[in-house]
Amino acid sequence: MNLLMFVLVSLSPRAGEISPRLEGILSELPPEGRVLAWVDLTGEGKVPDAWVEEIAKTGARVRVRSEWLHSVSVRATREQLEEIASLPFVLELSPVARFRRTEPMPSRPPPLPKFPPGRALYGPSFLQLDMLGVPELHDMGLTGLGVRIAVFDAGFDTSHPAVRGLKIIAFRDFVRELADDTLDASPTFRGNDHGLAALSVLGGHEEGKLIGPAYGAEFILARTENTSWEWPLEEDAWIAAAEWADSLGADIISSSLGYSRWDDGTGYSPDDLDGDTPRITRAADEAARRGILVVTAAGNEGTLICPGDGDSVITVGAVDEDLEVAPFSSRGPTSDGRIKPDLAALGVEVLAAWTDPAGPTYRRVSGTSMATPLIAGLSALILQAHPHWSPTQVREALIRSAHRALSPDCDVGWGVPYGPSALKAEGTLYGRVVDDQGRPVQGAVLRLKVGEETMETTTSPQGWFLFREIPRGRYKLDVWCPFYVPYTTYISLPEWDEILLGLGRRCSPPPCLVCSPNPVGEDGAVFSFPLYGKRKATLKLFSPSGELVWSRELRGEEATVRWEGKNAEGRPVANGVYLCVVEVGGRRMATKVGVVR
């Protein structure tokens, strides 16, 4: 006889957890004190009204309902939070991060305008736009028309002549909506001059004084910060603003607020800036997934800030007029090792609208918060020209047009973009060449057959390569480098992904004399050639005037020569075009070699 035994297990709901960070805050909270907390809920998607009502019954004040994060934020006492944690649909409670923004550098009156003939319209704002190629895009009729930009800041004085004519379709004061009896109950929508400055840099228009890149766009304004509070920004306000902007059809979010300090214990450490941990970052990435390009400041305190750690956002650093990184501009990488910032724009003495006691005026203001609206405005012009491009494609187009595209770093990312080149990104091929260990391969030669023409380039010290102005189609791409197995693949354009090409090592020589890289830079070059079965070869390098600059005799199996870019006396040679000649067993091979430093 088979005996069936049943074990009854209690399936009572598991109580939600209070995170260690929130526990630490609650341990120091007075008995009747209240804190801001996120309540993570089970499931995903729309937050049920019944659940919100159950949370409100505890006496907690429900502040924000986030459909994106499937959470609500509350202001509550410890007792109320413990009651919320016991609800069957609650997963975890954690603090709402509160931030303090780094103020822009001191402002000063603008100097006399500098602009070339025919550009007087831009007045003193010409330089900050010219660095990005914006005047050329304006000449094409691109002003941001049809693009909707949401601007998040500390308030906006829309009476200033520079922004008075903007197409503002909506504004909302999240500071006022979320204020309660523990805070200032009557903040003003105007705020300080920071929001006015950012808005004017993005879309201002007063001829001869200031022109913003996207003065023809539509604007959604959200006040997400109150500068009169000790902790001016609460992340649930930013997230609520992002979801609201999405409901109004925003194409771009420009967020010039720098969330760099969280020393009241509620926020995130540098180790948390991995693109996934901060809620504000997850919301920014969700906005990008929904088709909104998020452009945010890198920060002004040297350390990257969120949501700039997001992998789908454009994080903006600051440079001066010589394209050198500004001393205050925050650097990457993210805690998981990704390059940040992504791009840079002028952030030192940017012309912006300002309000003095005497009335409207203009000032030179510094900070990544001023570089950010320049990139957001440029993005709007790109979107006007290519409305079908996704946020990822706009970001990639700007990266491929930037001045450090072949040598990105964590100071300025891929550098300062150039709008006219970004418009043509569909005709580019961009990527890296690495070895079988994932290390960059410098000096690899890439040849792309385009019709009757063969386009050729070499990889940078970091292994990057870039082809431009390629028609749509399918092409053969050959890759060769000394000591590596040649590689051939076929590429179809447009190709928005960065191509990663892997080369396996070998020791056989190429079929002809090759200099890699060519032109030769500070790092020198490698000459490679066939030996045709011989064991002796002579390599000579001649100046443009025919003078022997450097030579080398080879014996044995050696078929490559390293040249450091120096003459026989060990001094660097001048820039120019040189002739390299190799003689092997009565055969003569030659190639021209450029030197550019």
For 157-179, what is each residue's pLDDT tens digit? Answer: 899 999 999 999 999 988 888 87
Percentage of the chain modeled with pLDDT above 90: 63
- How far is Cα of residue 96 from the mean position of the Cα atoms in its chain? 25
CA distance 35 to 60: 10
Is the sign of the CA dihedral 43, 266, 181, 84 positive or negative?
Answer: positive
Residue 387 has pLDDT above 50, yes or no: yes
**What's residue 264's pLDDT?**
55
Burial label, 427 (beta-carbon count in 10 A; 0-12, 13-18, 19+):
middle
Q: Out of 59-63, 218-222, 536-540, which region has the weakest mean confidence (pLDDT)?
A: 536-540
**What's residue 181's pLDDT?**
39
**What's residue 3's pLDDT?**
43
CA distance 283 to 275: 11
Residue 436 has pLDDT above 60, yes or no: yes
Grade residue 362 by pLDDT with cuts at 50, 70 and 90.
very high
**What's residue 176's pLDDT?**
83
Percentage of the chain modeled with pLDDT above 70: 88
Per-chain mean pLDDT for the chain: 87
**What's residue 117's pLDDT?**
72
DSSP reduced 3-state for 440: strand
Highest mean pLDDT out of 2-6, 292-296, 468-472, 534-538 = 292-296
Residue owning tokens 């990257």: 304
Q: Which tokens go with 229?
A: 């509070």
Residues 317-352 as b or e (16 or more Cβ within 10 Å = b): bbbeeeeebbebbbbbebbeebbbbbbbbbbbbbbb
Residue 187 has pLDDT above 50, yes or no: no
**What's residue 562's pLDDT?**
81
Which of 297, 377, 304 lies closest to 104 in space, CA to CA? 297
Q: pLDDT tens for residues 409-423?
A: 999 999 999 999 999
CA distance 424 to 420: 7
Q: pLDDT tens for residues 241-271?
A: 999 999 999 999 999 875 544 445 566 778 8
**What's residue 108's pLDDT?**
66
CA distance 489 to 475: 8
**What's residue 138's pLDDT?**
98
Helical residues (DSSP H) of 28-90, grouped into ranges: 49-56, 78-85
Residue 540 has pLDDT above 70, yes or no: yes
Q: How many residues does the chain have?
A: 597
CA distance 362 to 360: 7
Q: pLDDT tens for residues 114-162?
A: 667 778 899 999 999 999 999 999 999 999 999 999 999 988 989 999 9
Which of 530, 512, 513, 574 lies closest to 549 in space, CA to CA? 574
In sequence order, which residues have a C-beta less than 8 Å from that of residue 170 and are 6 or more positions away? 220, 221, 248
CA distance 334 to 275: 8
CA distance 173 to 155: 8
| Average pLDDT value for residue range 274-291 | 94
Bridge partners of 346, per DSSP, are: 319
- How far is Cα of residue 410 from the mean position of the Cα atoms in its chain? 11
| Average pLDDT value for residue range 491-505 | 91
Is residue 222 a contact partner of residue 187, using CB atoms and an 8 Å limit? no
**What's residue 553's pLDDT?**
86
| Average pLDDT value for residue range 312-322 | 96
Residue 98 has pLDDT above 80, yes or no: no
Residue 547 has pLDDT above 90, yes or no: yes
Residue spans of beta strands (DSSP E) within 139-229:
148-153, 167-173, 205-206, 210-211, 218-223
**What's residue 267's pLDDT?**
67
**What's residue 531's pLDDT?**
79
Q: Out of 37-51, 104-118, 281-295, 522-536, which region has the weakest mean confidence (pLDDT)?
A: 104-118
**What's residue 185's pLDDT?**
35
CA distance 180 to 186: 9
Q: pLDDT tens for residues 19-43?
A: 998 998 898 888 889 999 999 999 8
Residue 564 has pLDDT above 90, yes or no: no
| Average pLDDT value for residue range 355-366 | 89
Q: Report whether the peptide linkage leading into residue 517 is cis, meaning its omega lies within 30 degrees of zero.
A: yes
| Average pLDDT value for residue range 294-301 | 92
In sequence order, which residues have a C-beta less than 8 Å from that of residue 473 and are 6 or more positions away? 450, 492, 493
Residue 45 has pLDDT above 60, yes or no: yes
**What's residue 15's pLDDT?**
59
In sequence order, which residues have a C-beta less than 8 Å from that of residue 388 and are 6 or more positions away? none
In sequence order, which residues have a C-beta less than 8 Å from that of residue 385 and are 6 or more positions away? 137, 140, 142, 423
Grade residue 230 by pLDDT with cuts at 50, 70 and 90.
very low
What is the set of domains in the chain, with CATH numbers? 17-96 (3.30.70.80), 105-404+413-423 (3.40.50.200), 426-503 (2.60.40.10), 514-595 (2.60.40.4070)
Residue 568 has pLDDT above 60, yes or no: yes
Residue spans of beta strands (DSSP E) within 70-144:
71-76, 90-95, 98-99, 105-108
Q: pLDDT tens for residues 574-596?
A: 999 999 999 988 889 999 999 99
Higher pLDDT, 444 or 3: 444
Q: Give the angle 184-186-190 at the CA atoms, nearest 5°.
A: 110
In sequence order, which residues have a C-beta less than 8 Å from that of residue 403 and are 6 or more positions away? 323, 415, 416, 418
**What's residue 114's pLDDT?**
65
**What's residue 76's pLDDT?**
94
| DSSP designation for 463 | S
DSSP reduced 3-state for 314: strand
| Average pLDDT value for residue range 225-254 | 84
CA distance 550 to 542: 7
